[in-house]
Amino acid sequence: MGDIEPGTLAVRRAGPADWTALAEADPIAAAGDPARRASIRRWCDQGLALLVEDTRGPVGYGVLEYTFFEQGFLTLLTVAPGLRRHGVATRLLAAVEAACTTPKLFTSTNVSNRPMRHLLLKAGWQPAGLVHGLDEGDPELFYLCPSENLSRSSTLRTFPDTVIGKESRS
């Protein structure tokens, strides 16, 4: 897929017309998983997905829901495989923090998912719990976003349907 050109990343809320492009950027959906494809379509239809795009189109997305004890929950964050390690996930995580409208934001990831654990810790997220039994032999770690990340983003939360910003990779 190639490198990302500096200054070309933009984040916006995905709409119903974006679901097929997100499915192409998602390695599980692109491999033909019907459940993932249906979830992407539903998330786009409901306005729950934020996407990161460059001049070629979507390169990753995150899903922000409010079903975890009525608090924000980052359900999924994924970046197209050929564009990982270019700052897309960092930009997307910041956009999800900015879009969250509750006082707390949580997420979870498998213990085996070292890249996501590293991303969260680098952004200041704190471990909040561990659940066994969701994926056999791979416990789920829960994380809590630091409140200062949410308050720092409060000016962006008032415009969740517009482009949240452009940023060059760092």
Distance CA 73, CA 67 (A): 7
At 169, is the pLDDT very low, low, confident or very high (cuts 50, 70, 90)? very low
Question: Tens of pLDDT along 42-72?
Answer: 999 999 999 999 888 899 999 999 999 999 9
Distance CA 129, CA 108 (A): 9
Mean pLDDT of the chain: 87
At 21, is the pLDDT very low, low, confident or very high (cuts 50, 70, 90)? very high
Residue for token digits 């990340």?
149
User: What's the confidence (pLDDT) of residue 83?
Assistant: 79
Lowest mean pLDDT among 26-40, 61-75, 85-99, 108-122: 85-99
Name every residue whose Cβ is closer than 8 Å to that of residue 42 and which is 6 or more positions away in sequence.
Answer: none
At 6, is the pLDDT very low, low, confident or very high (cuts 50, 70, 90)? low
User: What's the confidence (pLDDT) of residue 123?
Assistant: 96
- Per the CB < 8 A criterion, the answer to whether 108 and 145 are in contact is no
- Per the CB < 8 A criterion, the answer to whether 4 and 169 are in contact is yes
Question: Tens of pLDDT along 115-157?
Answer: 999 999 999 999 999 999 999 999 999 999 999 999 765 444 4
Q: Walk me through the domains of the chain, giving residue ranges and CATH numbers.
A: 9-157 (3.40.630.30)
**SS3 sequence of 79-127:** ECHHHCCCCHHHHHHHHHHHHCCCCCEEEEEECCCHHHHHHHHHCCCEE
User: What's the confidence (pLDDT) of residue 2?
Assistant: 59
Tokens matching residue 134: 């969701």
DSSP, collapsed to helix, strand or coil, labels residue 66 as strand
| Rounded (10°) angle between helices 114-122 and 88-99 | 60
At 93, is the pLDDT very low, low, confident or very high (cuts 50, 70, 90)? very high
| Strand spans (E) along the chain | 9-13, 49-54, 57-68, 71-79, 105-110, 126-131, 140-144, 165-167
User: What's the confidence (pLDDT) of residue 159?
Assistant: 37
User: What's the confidence (pLDDT) of residue 16?
Assistant: 97
